[in-house]
A and B are shown apart, each in its own frame.
Chain A
Amino acid sequence: MPFIDLQGKLGINIDKWMLIQGGEQPCKRAPRCHAFEKEWIECADGIGQTRAKKECKLEFEDFYECMHREKTHKRLYEIRKQRDKMVKEGTYQTPPHHTGAQADDRP
């Protein structure tokens, strides 16, 4: 129920622990998009949904991208497609470190 903090009054935590990625984690391991989520929540807290959608657009987009990586995958796919096209045309030779010939990859 809104405005009645029942769980706080009873001192229990039935489902508040699972609301955000950055809740308490076992072994204290941070989730992958912790920084983005933190930024977004700090930006959007307490200003209401309508304002938050306008003002925190960049943080939200970063958080979404971190979680789903749609732009990253699209970019990678474009590069790979172009590379395969060029290899088929014959205008591009894959360098030796990308052909899998070098088994040793030590830094």
Chain B
Amino acid sequence: MGAIESIYLSLSSRCCHARSRTSYDVTLRSVLEKGWKMAASKVKQDMPPPGGYGPVDYKRNLPKRGLSGYSMLAIGVGVMCFGYWRLFKWNRERRRLQIEELEARIALLPLLQAEQDRRQLRMLRENLEEEAVVMKDVPGWKVGENVFHTDRWVAPLTEELFNLRPREELLHKRFGFLWYV
């Protein structure tokens, strides 16, 4: 079959690119085979070995390996359960730590309240004195006049405390620390 192969190759090499077999190629090949059959046996050709080729491994090879599905599911569920257990344990510990922090805050509350009270009273006193200085020429102004009709202590507003200070301090006091965003 070497001659036919060489003719086929020469024919296909006339085209500029390698291409797969088309129907034209098949018909040309069968015509050439019938015409050249008589001269095939006398020519030295590349033939298969006597007795044929050995067995060719063509069957599908899909080996069973790894864990089964059930065991993989069991391992996944087991890892999740372990994770949950660890998480719950740590959350209980965090709750205990949080309670300790709250207890510390409760213990400090008198000090914090006293500090805040002193600060507020000092600022109100300063504001009162400045008001007396500033408004002494304004007719009909009562210094330190209570806007309420009652004698109860009313918690002062931030605006009252920071009235005569630069606006930046008021903004810092109001918006400097936010619990939420």
Contact = CB atoms under 8 A, between A and B. Distances in A.
Q: Do A and B bind each other?
A: yes
B57 interface: no
B66 to A, nearest CB: 55
A61 B147 CA distance: 10
Contacts of B157: 69, 72
A66 B166 CA distance: 25
Looking at chain A's contact residues, is the secondary structure mostly helix, strand, loop, or mixed?
A: helix
Interface band, chain B: 20 to 34
Contact of A35 (B118, B152, B164, B165): B152
Contact of A73 (B154, B159, B166, B168): B159
Interface stretch (B31-39, B71-79, B125-133): B125-133
B163 A62 contact: no
A66 B156 CA distance: 11
Contacts of A39: 150
A76 interface: yes
A90 B81 CA distance: 76
Interface residues of A, number: 30
B164 A79 contact: yes
A79 B150 contact: no
Nearest to B117: A107
Contacts of A62: 148-150
Nearest to B150: A62
Contacts of A35: 152
Given A62-B150, A65-B147, A83 B159 contact: no
Given A79-B163, A105-B119, A98 B150 contact: no
Nearest to B166: A100
Interface in B130-181: 130-131, 133-135, 138, 141, 145, 147-150, 152, 154-155, 157, 159-160, 163-166, 168-169
